[in-house]
Structure formats: structure tokens, C-alpha cells
Amino acid sequence: MARRKKGDAVSGWICLDKPYELTSTSAVGRVRRAYNAQKAGHAGTLDPLATGILPIALGEATKTVPFLVDADKAYRFSIEWGRSTNTLDREGETTATSEVRPSVAQVEAALPAFVGDIQQIPPIYSAIKVDGERAYDLAREGIAVEMKSRIVRVFSARVSDAPDADHVEIEVECGKGTYIRAIVRDLAQALGACGHVSALRRTRVGTFTEANAITLENLEDFCHKARSSEALLPVETALDDIPALALTAEDAFRLKQGRPLVLVPRQVEALKARLTGDARTVSAMEDGKMVALCEMRAGRLNPVRVFHLT
């Protein structure tokens, strides 16, 4: 006899506006407790010192997390000139100082070099694994860490504010794996200055934006007042760029049993027109609810992940 899972079978996404100094893991824990959910996870770690969009998946939505981890992101951050740190943010130990204060014009002139497919060396204080260990754990132990350069994609970068000579605010849209702290490190070096991240906010992850975000305090208040459903987004929210196919009840039942579905030619052509590149993933829907994530091959839909939504 299968052991009954603890908690409620609640499924969906929370677009959390993570507060300052809270870890992503702690944020997931508080959301899970607020909903008494059986299962929870997040799409893309956000540093404790950063605020902003942290998508949290509950229940069946956790099956769609990989699709959101790869989503494009947007950030707004401030650079404080005059001091470089070992962690590349304001909490780190000072490694160098400088009286150089780049002007807005100089920053704007330097930014185009950081747009496009660029080579970037991740910060040593990052979650990347080196020989099976987290880089930040090795760095904290004083062990020399050699981080390998890799290509990341930055779609845009612009100066959005400059409140004083010591600070400049920049907005960036980028692909997965891009480190804002590394951009700041390299930008400061290009300008012959010292600088670190003094504030960082993630403003978008895929389709999750500040417009549909909720603070932790408001979410916990909603749950306390039995209004938790108002903050819950559909499971398919993370699959915005994946084509959907509406199913009959008979076809949906077939996929739920793990059996492939043979498509008619017009369905194949319609889906191919909406798939990009080598993508083959299709979301199967019945009456507006997720049934399965499928792979389309040779005119058939093969279920990869089946959802159990009530």
C-alpha cells in the first residue's frame, strides 16, 4: 500500500517577489507551508541579497520547472564605484579601491561590448560545481577556484538612472546562466575603475513579471484568509512558448495511460508551424487543463510527463 503524501494536492505557480536577505530555499519553504502543499520547488536561484521575481512551483507544476529554468530573464541593478570586493557585491571583503568615477557617457559607451553572445567567467562565489563541490563553498574555505569561461547571451543593456557620481543603475535582459555580478566586475575593469553590485533586482523570468508578482507577506495573508487561489497561476504558465493541442476526452485518457497518440496530418502541420528550430515539445490540454507534456515524432505524440490535475 502506497504511503499517503503529507499536505494538500495543490498545483500551480506562485510569482513571488522575494524580499531582501531571504534565501530561495527559505522562500520555497514558506510558500509551501502557506499552502500546505505536498511538493514545491523554484525555477532559478536568486541570491539572498537580491530581490524580485522568484517563480515557485507547487505540486504538478514542479514537472514544468526545467522549462522555466531555461527562460530569459531581466534585471535592474546598481553599481557602486570606488570599491571592488571578493564576492562582487556589497557584503564582500574589499579587494581594491579607486578614486575613478566613470561618467554616464563612459558607461553607455562601454555597454555595447557586453551585449550579444559574450565570454563570461562566473564569479568564484557562485553555485557552480567545481570537482563536485559548490564554488562558493570552496572559496569560503580559502581554496583556490579556477572558473572556466563560457558563452552567455545578453539581449540588451542600458543605463536607467545615475543618482550620483558614486552610483549608476543599469537594466539588462539576458539568457540563462548570465551572472550580473560578473558583468559588473568586467565593466568596472573595462572602465579602469573599481566597483561592486550594491543592489540587484530580478524583474522578469520568462512570462513571470512584476505585474503578476506577490509579496510573501501578502501571499501569507491571502492563505490565512482562505484566498490562496487568488495568487495561484496555472501549471501551464511556465510553458508560454510551447504550442498546445486541445484533446478529446478519449485522447486525453490515452495519454494519461502513457500511450502515444497518432495525429492527423492537419494537426501535425499546425504544430510544426508553431514549433521553433529543433523543438518537439507539445503541451496536451483537455478542457483548458494540462494533460501531458509530449514529444512529437513521426506524426505521433509520445507522453513524456503526465499531469494529474483535478
| Residues with catalytic roles | 47
CA distance 211 to 242: 22
Environment class of residue 89 by beta-carbon count within 10 Å: exposed (0-12), middle (13-18) or buried (19+)? buried
CA distance 77 to 81: 13
3-class state of residue 48 by DSSP: coil
3-class state of residue 82 by DSSP: coil
CA distance 168 to 162: 4
Amino acid in position 201 = R
- Closest C-alpha to 167, from 184, 189, 190: 184
- Beta strand ranges found along the chain (DSSP E): 12-18, 40-42, 51-58, 73-81, 83-85, 94-97, 116-120, 129-130, 133-134, 150-164, 167-174, 195-205, 208-209, 214-215, 244-246, 261-262, 281-286, 289-297, 300-306
Cell of 94: 574589499
